[in-house]
Amino acid sequence: QVQLVESGGGSVQAGGYLRLSCAASAYTYSSNCMGWFRQAPGKEREGVAAIYTSGGVTNYADSVKGRFTISQDKAKNTVYLQMNSLKPEDTAMYYCAASTRPFCAPVGGPRQYEYNYWGQGTQVTVSS
């Protein structure tokens, strides 16, 4: 069964931090990559970070590089997104996704068309 459940969103002031979690079913976690995406109102969905689940290689969008960190706990089938130094422009709905395709965590961040499975999202709001 395909299942991705995000948690950890909330409201924070600029400069603050949040950690998002994505709990996946065992079937979903057997995917090649896990990724985080975000979508702000009126904007297209943007790939934020991704990780190859077997080797642990990660890649990020330039907009979050150095501030966000994606990690995984394979024993828990869980992927995390640690978000530090948050800015108002980070405000968005954040989605966890899984991909079975080979080139799912490229330099520059994930591309949504490479991802098969999606969670429902968790809202992050950063106030100035």
Is residue 58 within 8 A of residue 37, CB to CB? The reply is no
pLDDT of residue 27: 73
Q: Is 25 helix (H, G, I), strand (E, B) or coil?
A: coil
Phi and psi at 75, nearest 5°, equal -65, -25
Cβ count near 99 (within 10 Å): 24
Question: Which residue, among 9, 17, 74, has the nearest Cα to 36 in the 3D structure?
Answer: 9
Question: For 11-49, what is each residue's pLDDT tens digit?
Answer: 999 999 999 999 998 877 778 999 999 999 999 999 999
Is residue 3 within 8 A of residue 96, CB to CB? The reply is no
Mean pLDDT over each residue of the chain, to the nearest integer: 94
Question: For 94-112, what is each residue's pLDDT tens digit?
Answer: 999 999 999 899 999 999 9
Q: Is 54 helix (H, G, I), strand (E, B) or coil?
A: coil
